[in-house]
Structure 1
């Protein structure tokens, strides 16, 4: 590899390092988890550009890599040919969404495809900026702005990235400036000058950056504008993409969100629980609010004072403890079902709001406080299956009637087809428990799918539940839980919407044999509570991919065909299994039944086909990498046995292309004679000038003798062989 090639390779390497800084934060700020495919694609594309492969080679190779990457990410073990048909159908559907400007509902597959195409274009632009324009400042400035914005407004920490970008960018800008200056002045020995200049340049830049990085920094003179900007953005933000976590405002549900792995709290306890915070009772058609009932039912509970706020008939369960340690502190109490009492680190008390079924901690000075640590005593919730199935209505005084009215509230605008669906699903059952199970089971069918990104927001004239049940059938816990509550209420069964956290991830055992669970913002969750007069509020879990951790005791002595019941998970092995979110595609036998005959043959002989593809790929790569050796030989063989004198003009044009490929670039506007002199100085010969003189006589002077191929063939072959070095 000559010095010119080495310099160009250095430029490509520095350009790749700048582009890499765009890809590194993706796993932290998006849901993208296969970034390595995009990085490999960028490297592959830049190498193809570096070796100047023609478009009819680079396009199929890049296209094949993109197809392989998408298959590896999204196939879900589906056969290759069936996946191709599925991919084409998905592209057709996504193009329709693009034409209708429904950007939020584009599939992850289509977004990845578009991202690959974007990187394809960027690598082409890099080649243009580095080797043609010799200017990279615009891309460098955009990179600095991009990393600075991520560091300011996201969880990504860009301190080290900025240092890397400054070093890479200054080196790249300096090299390109020096190269432009040498070419403008037409100085001889350019590559030698560049080599001598690069070492002190890199040393000075790295030394300067190190001094700046290690030196003490003065405090900022102006106040930080970020909180102001974020507050304004929060006020202006509509139903865009939000970050998952616990929130207080549930008036407008729907829309996509991104994951947040920040730990909210850890808890040590012997049993797996849902961690409850509050409930909402008024459904508006768009979301949930708390009713305006008077707060005179508020009660104070002193720390350590036993007070049952969860009415559970089976109270002979052993008393357990849950010790909470919060990383993100809120002004409310997170509690398990079966609450008895709470102990805080400081003196104070709790206020219980029955309207929200919520506990709020206060100091002795009657101020709301945020508790970083506390311990709750509770009796694990257990429910009698016989009493659950024995509930067919509410019979009681004014209190129960008022409760029933409050928790069967529905907006007058609720579409009638929601009620009709609830009646249809529960027609076979005569008790509230089986009706609730029938609705809960409905959401576990293949009709519905769990999704955090392609989640619609109802229009002004749409109902949130109606849209989910009959139109989108795609969403997360808020969609599933709200829909079940509304359907139960339409059957005159009291139900409410509960919020808090899912059980979290099992992290091992503590010294006292308690199990430790880690709860992140990703575990923020909502579920359903149904009121049973003899038991109180019983939780149900309609969200696909989640399991209800409550304990239902099968005490129906005379019914051997009782419905299987849910029990508390026990044993460490079960705790090690994380909450499973539903896969976006059902990988069942139904998909295999749809495979075509060719797809089955592919699955049967995939090893042979794979080896064949690998061998062909290696052979093709070898041919591509060694093309500077075999293409000149092929051209020599092509023209050597030609006898026609008119072949000289074609052979001369082929030589010019090979010289260009070998790094001897002809500048725009440069005459053939000047270029021939440049080539001869490079090879230390006069052959190119002699050949060019005869070519000009043939083309411009009409001298037929100049076209004598036998006379010029040996000189042409000698120059063609030199391009192989």
Structure 2
């Protein structure tokens, strides 16, 4: 009994380690954080199974841990208050419509984490069933080898250590499981020593032996070259994602396709950008956010954050926003002053990225579908911008002039060359903004490159491709500005959208879709604040810049467009955009997710799990035919014995289990009575002659093979 408990503990320990090997790479290949929460869940699951906790109590404890982890990660409220449970219920109902319409990208991190927990629960059960109960682990071991090998080949994850561990522990376990299935297994200590010695010797020889250079071409380069050939034949087939706002900007680049899905409508008095968040850390591949736990809280009036200094001329305007689906964050104009919602809401702004979340007073998220807001619409004086002194605030300079150490030197040299004739900060900013309009850069959404592992995103755009969409233009401008110590940041959200109609109170109604997702640049000026700029080809800065005589300055636009009134100008822009939609790439961009991230890993893993479950659930239909193929062309030796054992396993799997104390002849009679034949008895008599009399029955096996095949087919049917 004690030996059995030790073996069971060893099995569960190996099952935990196998799933840990699946979870560990996620911190490298995706943006998944707090991976220890999932590892603890796996350990907790197997501990409950090892202790043989009652099923209902075990399920309750696992669900309790799951929701406790969700609350700790996202809700940050007293767990026993259970108010978060109602909030999660509302969010789950909302996500049902997203799942029904396959809008996976619109899911919140909370719900994705919940689904990941459920998938992990399923994985734990499957590994436990096959390893502890069936004493078979070959399928999962092979899947783990493939998983690690793919990640090691196509991602920054190094799987060398994992492969060595899998070879050592995995093959030792396979050896032991084979021993456990032997009908008369004896001398386990001898088997353990032999198995450990064989595996250890194999590892030692592999480590010490000479290593040949790669004999096959690099599969990554091959796949890329193959994809390039296909792209030349059909450029449209590589539109990989739909445009829209996304959370992950750690790896920018690649093509997208248009998506006219409406995100929200707005009744407004002016055109402007709709902000969602800012990002400040450029990584060489994309954008990240500084670590900060500071949160600014306000109820209706924003008295905690200021975008412009008092010297900026402003007018206060109002807007009414209606989201198509309740959103857990605000879309708002720069200069936000007040927000009014129908519920008792507390607004919490993350200081790191200026993203605003509506919550209740217990810090639970309250997704909003409709709200009114007021904001200060700025008019920037060009004269004041020109006389703005250089920024001396060390905190702003350190944060908003950050650049990666590996940024190519020619980027900085280009920034200096562009601005060498400019005397003021404003003139330098405008010179860089205009550089993209005057030097052959093109707006492109389909044939958009992705930087390789050792390539910088901005360097590739500036010196090699010179084509892309807003992410390329805005990021490049910020990096150029930072190269000459001008603080700038990356902002993402939406453009003002398409003008629809005029409301009864004289406001303009705009429709904002996923096509209007956009990113732009904000530059910090002393005594003024954050000023937006627009480097993207085909886009105009919606804010006003005035000379002393109040002449409006912005990126040059066609003369007929300048003569329109605001609503008519918007209608013309809408028409131009619709023309471009039918003849050339879109003028609005999406936030592309990284090429390899936790979403793609999750999707792949879920797909593999669904396929595994389907195969496992229908195994009684297809596995007998695999057995038929396995023995169809086998002859001689112990073929008949193995075939008979396989038949017994299939009978057991379909519910015709041999009872304890029942002889083989009694069991054969029971099977014959069940199927209405005498085939099982004939096979059993032959089997007893092999086992007890050591007869060689090769010829007889060929004669009764048809009986065996008939029984296998009956099981499958």
TM-score by length of 1: 0.46
Please say which structure displays the higher CA radius of gyration. 1
TM-score by length of 2: 0.47
